[in-house]
A and B are shown apart, each in its own frame.
Chain A
Amino acid sequence: MAERPEDLNLPNAVITRIIKEALPDGVNVSKEARRAISQAASVFVLYATSCANNFAMKAKRKTLNAADVLAAMEEMEFERFLEPLREALEVYKKGKKEVSEQKRKEKEKKETDNDKSREEEDDEERMEEEPEAENDAEEEEVEN
Chain B
Amino acid sequence: MKMSANTADKDNNVSTNKNISLPISRVRLIMKSSPDVSNINQEALFLTTKATELFVQYLAVSSFNNGSGKGSKSLSYSDLASTAEENDTFHFLTDILPKKILAGDYLKTLEQIEDEEADI
Contacts and interface: CB of A to CB of B under 8 A. Distances in A.
Interface of A: 1-2, 7-8, 10-11, 14-15, 17-19, 21-24, 26-30, 32-33, 36-37, 39-50, 52-53, 57, 62-66, 68-70, 73, 76-78, 80-81, 84-85, 88-89, 91-93, 95-96, 98-100, 103
A64 to B, nearest CB: 4
Interface of B: 11-12, 14-16, 18-19, 21-23, 26-27, 29-34, 36-41, 43-44, 46-48, 50-61, 63-64, 69, 73-77, 79-81, 84, 88-89, 92-93, 96-97
B33 A69 contact: no
B54 A81 contact: yes
Given A77-B88, A81-B54, A89-B46, A30 B30 contact: no
21 contacts: A2-B29, A7-B26, A10-B26, A14-B21, A27-B69, A33-B79, A36-B77, A37-B60, A40-B84, A43-B92, A62-B39, A63-B40, A64-B31, A66-B43, A69-B44, A76-B89, A76-B92, A84-B54, A92-B43, A93-B43, A95-B16
Main secondary structure of the interface of A (DSSP, over half): helix
Contacts of A28: 73-75
Main secondary structure of the interface of B (DSSP, over half): helix
B39 A64 contact: yes
Contacts of B88: 77
Query: Which of A7, A40, A91, A93 has the most CB atoms of chain B within a 10 A radius of its CB?
Result: A40
